[in-house]
Amino acid sequence: MKILVTGFDPFGGESINPAIESVKKLPDEIKGAEIIKLEIPTVIGKSVNKIREKIEEVNPDVVLSIGQAGGRPDITVERVGINCDDCRIKDNEGNQPIDEKVAEDGPAAYFSTLPIKAMVEHIKEGKIPASVSNTAGTFICNHVLYGVCHIQATKYPNMRTGFIHIPFLPEQVTDKKNMPSMALDTIVKALELAIEAIVENDTDIKVTGGKTH
């Protein structure tokens, strides 16, 4: 099995992004699966295009993208990506689309094809807080989640795709009062556990992961 794991470069005025930092620290093999790592730009269009090029090159079985979600306290495995770019801030090249489609020919939304609840449960078994998230936002993280799902749906039906959001690193919140963070080594361990669950589960487990609001 080949698993392509992507992580974004820093954005929004930050000098570091835990997404690419954690991806770089992943082992090259997890549970017999080859881990292929890719840094992607926090840029509309270019981020998905870079992943598309890598998919064409290595033909992975799974694409798992990692993104920073400053303010979230735990590892959040995304359930769904929506066909909407509505950027609160500019991306790293100054783009700021408002209410535009990620894919003109795509449906309103795509669900992740990864075993999201098995991933969450396995991370929690490792004593790391995790949960299912039902919104990936409307910035570049959602753009990538939806965009890669669209690639999978239209060209690679046997490939599985999904997205994980991770918290700030402690060094990012020294000047952000009451902002949660998580150590890099803990994030890396959580990603390893998530990938183990992907390798071990062709289909998801049946446990509650919903929210009331």
Catalytic center residues: 78, 141, 165
Dihedral in degrees, nearest 10, Cα atoms 117, 120, 123, 125: -70
Cα–Cα distance for residue pair 108/84, rounded to 1 Å: 8
Q: How deeply is 166 buried, as exposed, middle or buried, from its count of CB atoms within 10 A (0-12, 13-18, 19+)?
A: buried
Q: What letter represents residue 170's amino acid?
A: P
d(CA 80, CA 91): 22
Answer whether 20's CB lies under 8 Å from 7's CB: yes
Distance CA 136, CA 22 (A): 19
